[in-house]
Amino acid sequence: MGELEARTPRERYRAQIREEIKKHAWEQIATAGASALSLNAIAKQIGMSGPALYRYFANRDELITELIRDAYRSLATAFRARAEAGADLSDLAHALRRWALDDPQRYFLVYGTPVPGYQAPEDTTRIASEIMAVLLDACTAQQTPATPSPLQTHLDEHRDWAAPHPAGPSALHRALTFWTRLHGVLSLELAGHFTGMGFDPARLYTAEAEAIAGH
């Protein structure tokens, strides 16, 4: 991650400190969640005092935005890698699950409860559509049924989000279903809503993944 090709020594040093700040920020987030992230505490861990950190990030929001960007990039990279290795929809589903379980708070940073005032930068929406492109590729690999459903024609008529991708109506629908259904199981599992219920969330997830890939 990050901008490693820095010309001047000053820029190289700056980029290095920024990475160290983000490293400690991730550790804090992983243990206490994004809302408990303290710039003050990070600065002390690094070894510098409070306000010095504001030389590197204008404010708390900018740091969190950068972390969200990194999280998005990390998912996009994982997805692209699996796709290039010839993954089908089921493989992508399990790659998503592994990525989420690897750091639940990172998942929530991207797909969790949004801060009401927060507006995602254009940057992240671009990465999101890149992820969607990989997904649409995998969906077009499946066979398509003859006549599209009313919902599928609706999606085909409002396909701004799929932009230049040549996916058909049923592929659009499948991609969306992939996203929503897997997010449904995953987010409830990570939020702990299945704890104490007894069954194995992985089996439920796999069943949903195979239902999407098969149908």
The residues binding its own copies (CB under 8 A) are 31-33, 35-36, 105, 108, 111-117, 125, 149-151, 154-155, 158-161, 176-177, 179-185, 187-188, 191-193, 196-200, 203-204, 207-208
* Residue 158's binding partner out of its own copies, DNA, none, with CB under 5 to 8 Å set by partner kind: its own copies
- Please state the length of the chain: 215
Distance CA 183, CA 164 (A): 25
Q: Which is nearer to DNA, 14 or 94 (CB)?
A: 14
Total residues binding DNA (CB under 7 A): 24
CB of 185 to DNA, least distance (A): 33
CB of 48 to DNA, least distance (A): 3
Q: Does 24 bind DNA (CB under 7 A)?
A: no
Question: What does each C-alpha distance from 83 to 19, 80, 88, 171 come to in angstroms?
Answer: 28, 5, 7, 16
Task: State whether residue 73 is helix, strand or coil.
Answer: helix
Q: Of 193, 151, 183, which is closest to residue 170 (Cα–Cα)?
A: 151
Q: Does 118 bind DNA (CB under 7 A)?
A: no
Q: Which residues bind DNA (CB under 7 A)?
A: 8-10, 13-14, 17, 37-41, 47-52, 54-56, 58-61
